[in-house]
Amino acid sequence: MKTDWIKPLIGRPGPFATVYLDATRSAEAGDKDVAGRWKAVRRTLTQQGAPPDVLDAVEDAALRPLRKPGAHGHVIIADASGVLVDKALRTAPAVATGVWHAVPALLQAALAADEEVTALKVAVDRTGADLRLVGVRCWDAPRTFEAPHDDVSKAATGGSSRGGGTGGGGAGGGDRGGSAAVEARAEDSLARNAEAVAREVERTVAEERPEIVLLFGDARTVRAVRASLVRPVAELTVEVAGGGRGAGVREAAFLENLEGALDSYRERRRELVLAELRRGQGREQGTVTGLDDVVAVLARGQVKELVLSEDVGYDGALVVGADGARGPLSGRTLWVGPDPMAIASARASLEDAGYTDGLETLPAAIALVRAAVGQDAGLTVAPEGAADLIDGVGATLRWSDGATPHEVAATMSRDQDLLR
């Protein structure tokens, strides 16, 4: 998905501390779980030469609760100026890692980009709404919208204590008539307020361009607001049970529902990319797979979306300064230059292209992500079995020409082995 927020890390003078941590807190130990894991990572970073002020900044971020249900990870990247990346990950690493190096471990930042969703959260009741943008372009605080109509309380049913209780049927009929009028005004106010909230949501969506709108709160108001939205915004909107504007919200249950809605959206978004990849493989155009071919199209700026298999994306050992341990790119490196699109399998290829200074090797996965971010390509992590990826990597393309590597569809496992 979108990786533009990672781009400022490329070319920024280092060194950097990169931490990939299991941030899961057990019911018994709580914060002590994370503190113990961080303590071990801090020792590793200290041995690598990371200064105390950088480590203190990372520690503040590492020990802060992320308010995420279930098991989850945490990626933090920092330099002498402070914390640059501080993101939660749905997948907790099997082993916490930390590295102090001249360049950041972009793979972990890219994982956060794959999971990041820019969402507009809208909590509603009959008097208005609280809106909050979360994700890359997040707001520092929620914005409150007060609806213009305040006549939203219905008269109590079952009679009234006002107006005298001995006036017989005439008085009762008058009370019923007054009650009906109050209820009618309340219904009208509710409808008008829902329309006003809907217009505010539409205005915010037009300005901020969120990927999804998460609508929750008073159930009747939620339905009324949803029904009042114009179709394009309504199609972005998902109703989430359990939330609200005021007290009384069951926070744990609501957060679980909220995360479930975001997970469903991530799956839909990922499937759009993988479906495009599969279509391209079937047509034998518009996509490539295999390390050498992906490097070739990255060097030419052709990549629309870089696709990594899970065993590449979540290989915690694939950090700068390590060769990797488990995934299909284990032990493989690539040559890179100062330009993010300067990427090749051999140093001679970069020298032939005119690069002479600042050449170095990086773990292959990190070099791929660096080149993808440098050309504003997206990044998607493919679940096991979701796509045929030679070497665990593939790409969809913005454009193709005669020099673009030509894909041959591999429909059987033996075909894939031969293509390797």
Chain segment 98-141, per-residue pLDDT in tens: 999 888 877 777 777 777 899 999 999 989 999 999 887 788 78
Is residue 169 domain-resident? no
- Same domain, yes or no, for 294 and 408? yes
Last residue of a domain, one of 90, 113, 136: 113
Last residue of a domain, one of 204, 223, 249: 249
Is residue 231 domain-resident? yes
pLDDT of residue 420: 47
Last residue of a domain, one of 87, 113, 139: 113
Q: How many domains does the chain have?
A: 3
CA 278 remoteness from chain centre: 23
- Same domain, yes or no, for 98 and 145? no
Is residue 394 domain-resident? yes
Query: How do residues 332-342 score in pLDDT, each as one tens digit?
Result: 899 999 888 89
Is residue 240 domain-resident? yes
Residue 229: pLDDT above 50? yes
Neighbours of 228 (CB within 10 A): 20
Tokens of 250: 């069951």
Return the ∠ at Cα 117 (arms to 318 and 36), rounded to 5°: 50
Give the residue with greater pLDDT, 248 vs 7. 7
Q: Is 212 helix (H, G, I), strand (E, B) or coil?
A: strand
**Strands 303-309 vs 393-397: parallel, antiparallel or unpaired:** antiparallel
Of 78, 77, 72, 74, nearest to 87 by C-alpha is 74
The CATH number for 364's domain is 3.30.1330
Q: What is the pTM of this model?
A: 0.74
Average pLDDT over residues 3-14: 79
Query: How do residues 249-281 score in pLDDT, each as one tens digit?
Result: 678 889 889 989 999 999 999 999 999 999 999
Residue indicated by tokens 């108001």 = 221
- Same domain, yes or no, for 20 and 40? yes
Is residue 170 domain-resident? no
Of 402, 408, 394, 387, nearest to 298 by C-alpha is 394
At residue 413 the predicted structure's pLDDT band, cuts being 50, 70 and 90, is: very low
Residue indicated by tokens 């390509």 = 377
At residue 70 the predicted structure's pLDDT band, cuts being 50, 70 and 90, is: confident
- Same domain, yes or no, for 415 and 289? yes
Is residue 128 domain-resident? yes
Is residue 165 domain-resident? no
Of 113, 97, 98, 108, nearest to 379 by C-alpha is 113
Distance CA 414, CA 296 (A): 25
Question: In whole numbers, what is the pLDDT of the chain averaged over residues?
Answer: 83
Residue 160: pLDDT above 60? no
- Same domain, yes or no, for 335 and 412? yes
Is residue 278 domain-resident? no
Domain encompassing residue 67: 1-113
Residue 158: pLDDT above 50? no
Residue 142 CB-density burial (10 A; 0-12 exposed, 13-18 middle, 19+ buried): middle
